[in-house]
Amino acid sequence: MEITIYRRHSADCPQKADRYAPRCGCPLSGQFNWPQSTTKFDEKRLKHGQNKWSLNACTWSEAQQNVTKLKKVLEALLEGKPVEKPITVEAVVQEWLTFRSMNGLTNTKPKFMAHKLVEWCKTNDVLLLSAITPDQAIKFRMSLPFRTGDSSSLSVHWAVIGGFFNWAVGMGYISANPIPDTRQNPQFRIRYEKPEVAPPTKDQVEKVLATATGRVKLLCELMRWTAMALVDAQKFGMALEDAQNFGLSKPERRPVLENETLIRGRRTKTNERYRVRISRSLAEQLQGLGSPAFPGAESMWRERVKKAFRDAGVIMTPHGYRHYRISEWLAQGFQPSDVSKWVGASEKEIRKTYEHWIREAEDRLDTLQRQSWIAQGLDENGDAKEHQIQ
C-alpha cells in the first residue's frame, strides 16, 4: 500500500503553494487509497477510496516513521491479521483491573504489579503498550523487588504480569505477549527451591494464646483451630452489608457460621471452598463480639497479631497458625483428602507441602507396619519368629 506524505499548510504559510515543502513547520498528513469497504479503525473512519489522515508530525523524518507504522497496520487489516492498537500502558492497565473487578476476581497482586509496570514504563519513556519489547519485559522483571533462589514470590507475581499481557492479546491491543516463552527460551525461566514449611511448635502457639488478649486473642484462636489465613479469619462474622461496605468484590466468600459450630466460606486467595468446625465455646465467644467481629482493615489486624507475637517473645507469622493446624491434623492420622476440604486446598497441595516431613505421621505408619507384620505371624521387625536369637 502506497501512502503519500504531504503538508497541510496554514493560510498564512509563505510556502503554502508547495504541498511538499521540506521545512515550513506545517503539519504533515498521509494520503492513501483503501480498497475495501468503509470501516472504522482506532476511532477513525476508514472509507473506501481516498483517505487523508494526519501523521501527527511536522518533520519529514518523523512522518516517514509514522507512515511505516501505518502501512504495517493497514496491510495487516487487509490480510485479516490481528492489529496492534495505539493505546497507552496505563489505559490498558486500568481497563484490565476494571475487567477483573467486574468478573469477581481479586485485584490485590494485580494492582500492585500494574502500578510497578506503569511506573517502570514512565521511567523508561515507554508510552504505548505495543512498544514493550521482550528485552524491555525482562528488564522490567529484573527491576522487581523480589528475591529468588528460595522464594516463589517473583514467579507468582510475574505470572500476574503474564496474565495481563495475555489478556491484552485477547483484546487485540497487542499481537503477541512480549514475555519470552520459557519453553523455547529456558534461560528466562525463574528458578527457585521453595524451602519446606516449618510450622511453629506447640509451645510457641500456646505461649501466644496465653499472652494475647481481647479480640486479638479470639482472632488467634480462630486461626489456630480452623487453619484459616488471617485475610479470611478477619472477615468472620461480617454481615453481607458490612462486607459490601468494606469493598469486598465477592461478599459471599466471607466465613459464615452455620449450625452453631460449622464455618463455611471461600478462601480469598484461591476462591476454594472450605468447611470446618470449631468448639461451641469458641463459637459463642466469637458471636459475642457482634458484627463484624474484627472491624477495620486486614492490615491493622495483621499488625496487632504480630504485636502479640512480639509480646510473647515468639518468632512466627500469622500464617504459621495454618501450617500448625494442618500439620497437627495430619499427625493425628487424618487423611489429606479430608484436611483439604477443611482448609480449602487441593489434596495434592496438602501432600506436597506438609505430609512428607511430619514425623508423627511417619511414626504412625511405622507402628501400623509393625502391627501388620505381627498379624502375619512375624516379629515386629518382619522376621520369622524361629529366626530370633534366643
DSSP-derived letter for residue 296 is S
* pLDDT at res. 387: 57
**Distance, CA of 131 to CA of 124 (rounded, Å):** 11
Query: Domains plus CATH for the chain?
Result: 4-79 (no CATH), 89-188 (1.10.150.130), 202-357 (1.10.443.10), 361-390 (no CATH)
pLDDT in tens, the chain (390 residues): 899 999 999 989 999 889 898 888 899 999 999 999 888 776 678 899 999 988 888 899 889 988 988 888 888 888 877 666 678 899 999 999 999 988 877 788 899 999 999 999 999 888 889 889 999 999 999 999 887 776 788 898 999 999 999 999 998 888 889 999 999 999 999 987 777 778 999 999 999 999 999 999 999 999 999 999 999 999 887 655 555 555 455 555 678 888 889 999 989 888 899 999 999 999 999 999 988 889 888 889 999 999 999 999 999 999 999 999 999 998 888 888 899 999 999 998 888 888 665 666 667 778 888 888 888 888 887 788 765 554
* pLDDT at res. 73: 82
DSSP β-bridge partners for residue 273:
266
Dump strand ranges (E) for the chain. Answer: 4-7, 28-34, 39-41, 44-46, 49-57, 256-258, 262-266, 273-277
Q: CA triplet 301, 302, 307: central angle to 5 degrees?
A: 95
* pLDDT at res. 200: 94
Pure H helices in 52-152: 60-79, 89-102, 108-123, 134-142
**Distance, CA of 347 to CA of 362 (rounded, Å):** 18
Distance of CA 197 to CAs 127, 159, 177, 358, Å? 42, 22, 34, 10
* pLDDT at res. 104: 74
Contact partners, residue 303, CB within 8 Å, separation at least 6:
none
Of residues 382, 48, 64, the one with CA closest to residue 56: 64
Of residues 175, 182, 177, 184, the one with CA closest to residue 161: 177
> At how many degrees (to 10) do helices 336-343 and 320-331 cross?
150
* pLDDT at res. 243: 52
The pTM (predicted TM-score) of the whole model is 0.57
**Distance, CA of 137 to CA of 162 (rounded, Å):** 10
**3-class DSSP state for residue 91?**
helix
Which set of grid coordinates corresponds to residue 65? 516513521
Each residue of 269-278: b (16+ CB within 10 Å) or e?
A: eeeeebebeb
* pLDDT at res. 300: 94
* pLDDT at res. 332: 84
Please state the φ and ψ torsions of residue 98, each to the nearest 5 degrees: -65, -45
* pLDDT at res. 41: 74
Alpha carbon 277 to its chain centroid, in Å, reads 29
